[in-house]
């Protein structure tokens, strides 16, 4: 695995998910920048209390100065993300669609997963999907050292092999067995209301659920006789 101290994580979103990811990343040894919309001074206190060791910066700096940019804002705000600033960047989408929070999003009908919808807005970003199928509080509670018998597994999907490898490594450092779920479209296997989203699995169990989802999706596409 890589050396976390040589990697900067930039988190867009200073809410419960963003600060939860920040705490685990800091614990693992990463340099962490965290941003919300507007002046970073407005979140200085929140960051110092909720993610001690993280540095409050502007969204522009979080995107420009980071090796991996983590999207942890409400999903409907994806439209406010700057495609130019994220072009060529490794980006991790942790967002989920919740109707009560996000409202109607007709774009979802055109995408196999919400991350594909995000990628359509950020076409030049090197996007991966993960950390959306674990509660922010579970990031700390369920983290275990490598090799632990009760280590939880989390899935990673991306169309970009380098980004997928980077995020798989990141997930491992956070304290989880990282499972390669394949292309970004496969992220639909661990979105809300799926067994993976609602459950907790070890590596073998998660791989089994991913295969079951892929088989079911293939069956839907196959003509009936």
Classify burial at 142, counting beta carbons within 10 Å of its beta carbon; exposed 0-12, middle 13-18, buried 19 or more.
Answer: middle
**pLDDT for the residue 225:** 47
221 pLDDT more than 80:
no
Q: Looking at residue 103, what is its pLDDT?
A: 77
Name residues whose C-beta falls within 8 Å of residue 139's C-beta, 6 or more positions apart in sequence: 20, 21, 23, 24, 131, 174
Provide the strand spans (E) within 97-152: 126-129
Q: How many CB atoms lie within 10 A of CB 179?
A: 25
Mean pLDDT throughout 137-163?
97
Which pLDDT score, from 0 to 100, does residue 187 have?
96
Look up the pTM and report it: 0.93
Antiparallel, parallel or unpaired: β 55-56 and 68-71: unpaired
Residue 212 pLDDT exceeds 60: yes
Q: What average pLDDT does the structure give for the chain?
A: 93
Q: At what angle do helices 161-174 and 16-28 cross, to 10 degrees?
A: 80
Distance from first CA to last CA of the chain, Å, rounded? 48
């Amino acid at each position: 695995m890589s050396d976390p101290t040589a990697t900067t994580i930039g988190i867009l979103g200073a809410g419960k998910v963003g600060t939860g990811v920040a705490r685990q990343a800091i614990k693992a040894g990463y340099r962490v920048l965290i941003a919300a919309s507007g002046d970073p001074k407005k979140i200085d206190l929140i960051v110092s209390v909720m993610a001690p060791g993280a540095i409050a910066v502007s969204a522009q700096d979080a995107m420009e100065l980071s090796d991996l940019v983590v999207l942890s804002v409400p999903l409907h705000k994806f439209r406010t993300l700057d495609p130019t600033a994220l072009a060529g960047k490794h980006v991790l989408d942790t967002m989920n669609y919740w109707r009560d929070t996000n409202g109607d999003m007709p774009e979802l009908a055109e995408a196999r997963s919400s991350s594909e919808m995000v990628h359509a807005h950020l076409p030049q970003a090197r996007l991966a999907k993960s950390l959306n199928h674990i509660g922010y509080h579970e990031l700390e509670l369920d983290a275990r050292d490598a090799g632990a018998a009760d280590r939880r597994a989390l899935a990673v999907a991306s169309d970009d092999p380098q980004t997928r490898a980077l995020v798989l490594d990141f997930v491992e450092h956070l304290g989880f067995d990282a499972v390669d779920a394949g292309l970004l479209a496969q992220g639909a296997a661990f979105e809300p209301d799926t067994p993976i989203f609602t459950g907790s699995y070890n590596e073998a169990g998660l791989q089994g659920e991913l295969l079951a989802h892929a088989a079911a999706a293939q069956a839907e596409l196959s003509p009936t006789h």
